Chain A
Amino acid sequence: MAEPMGFFTDTSVCIGCKACEVACKAWNQLPARNGGKVQLSGISYDNTVSLSGIQWRHVKFIEDFAPDRSTGRWLMMSDVCKHCVQAACLEVCPTGAIIRTEFDTVVIQQDVCNGCRACIAACPFGVIEINPETNTAMKCTLCYDRLQAGMVPACAQACPTHSIQFGPISELRQRAQERLEQLHAAGVTQARLYGHDESILGGLNAFYLLLDEPEKYGLPSNPQLPSRNLAPSAALSAAGAVALGLLGLVGLRKQRMDRLAAEERGQGEGSHAG
């Protein structure tokens, strides 16, 4: 069992260069959308628009200026699968294709996935989509293959400004806290961490330092597990229908997760002496 590993994405130093997007595609051999022949989105410098089955890193651009330019910021943030500790996708996956690895990351096994889309509806962050070339659900694997070989994930290696940092979660949390304090001391009072502790889905293994409220970046401030957020919208699509059928299972898994968490606590108390 390796140490839990993940990403700390410090958006305060993101320069929006998109090296992470390309390095990810290059390593994981993901195609460009429509062979690269796409239209200008008109959303600042963002033309990949969202995470998808072939877009596992996505840089958001938020232009935030007062009309008289007395204040102005151009926020950038490299989005990615959060590798949630309580991973909704993993909970709802009926085939067991989605697994938690020895690095505490969440990976979809491509040869097991049957493309049922349950995970797509379940993910509170909109991370997962079907890769049209394989008809399976895809998302960031946190470069599982590179991790096993002791290498840094492609995006983190490419990132020129250390906006994407990779490492053991415990270390990243400490670094994030120090950076937060540094920014607060420098008067950037709006800076905050997102997903660094258990308050969001038990903790995000890809967590963030943001310069404003999560909503500013299109992140839910209080994301929910599918058992809580799926029901109202589930019947709207074929994928939803499939997911709806799985609701019972979801509920069951929720109970299991709760039990697991409880056992962990018990185990923790007991294991400390060792």
Chain B
Amino acid sequence: MAVAVSRRQFLKVGGAAAGTAAGALLGLGVDLRPKQVRAQQLRIKDAQVYPSVCPYCAVGCGTLVHVVNGQIVNIEGNPKSPINKGNLCPKGAATYQLHVNPNRLTKVLYRKPYGTQWEVVDLDWAMDRVAELVKKTRDETFVETLPNGKRVMHTTAIYSLGGATIDNEWNHIHQKLMRGLGIVRIENQARI
């Protein structure tokens, strides 16, 4: 039975038929046949894949981080996640550039009191210096008991802000360290 088949259906029919039909055109110097030009090199073909979570909003989209030779080469949505099924928003889709970005800082910058420029400093030195400053400020401002006799065991002269975009593990140990030291001005984005 004769049925009209469109070009599209024709393409679907299969390689053999297409070969016969379009092969005649080869001699004209231009090959208009559908073809596989070459095997495209998938740049994540040999990548290691690590399941991750988008760092932007609180929807919690699953992502996949592709790594080749220790370098992140791609981040995209995880199709397996029941939250996003592989979807992302533009921010989530841009997560790669959060990691691989020429504007990214990779050294500790330090500005002296009254200084007019940044200096690059050693990470260990900076950590030691911050620890000293925390101790100094805490020791100078610590209050054990208020004038009304109430015990407070705190300092209100140190302020810590942050956490809503940082891992739970950090939130836990950071609030513990702060409270352990008696630092009570602890805040994060949740109130802003």
Contacts and interface: CB of A to CB of B under 8 A. Distances in A.
A101 B32 contact: no
A48 B125 CA distance: 45
Contact of A146 (B5, B42, B84): B42
30 contacts: A1-B12, A1-B34, A4-B12, A19-B87, A19-B89, A19-B92, A23-B76, A26-B74, A26-B75, A26-B76, A101-B35, A101-B37, A104-B34, A148-B39, A149-B45, A157-B77, A157-B87, A158-B76, A160-B84, A170-B12, A202-B7, A203-B6, A260-B22, A264-B6, A265-B5, A267-B20, A268-B9, A269-B5, A274-B13, A274-B17
A198 B6 contact: yes
B184 interface: no
A188 interface: no
Contacts of B86: 152, 157-158
B25 A17 contact: no
A154 interface: yes
A228 interface: no
A148 B90 contact: no
Interface in B1-48: 1-15, 17-18, 20-22, 24-25, 28, 30-37, 39-43, 45
A84 to B, nearest CB: 12
Interface residues of A, number: 52
B90 A102 contact: no
Interface in A24-50: 26-27
B51 interface: no
A257 B22 CA distance: 11
Given A22-B94, A101-B34, A269 B4 contact: yes
A107 B6 CA distance: 22
A17 B9 CA distance: 35
Interface string A138-167: 000000111011011010011110000000
B30 A264 contact: no
A69 interface: no
A267 to B, nearest CB: 5
Interface string A247-274: 0000001001100110111011101101
B51 to A, nearest CB: 16
Contacts of A90: 32
A160 B88 CA distance: 6
Nearest to A141: B40
Nearest to B45: A149
B4 to A, nearest CB: 6
Given A100-B33, A158-B88, 19 more contacts: A1-B14, A19-B90, A23-B88, A23-B93, A26-B74, A26-B96, A101-B34, A101-B37, A102-B34, A154-B76, A157-B79, A158-B76, A158-B87, A203-B7, A253-B30, A263-B21, A268-B4, A269-B2, A272-B2
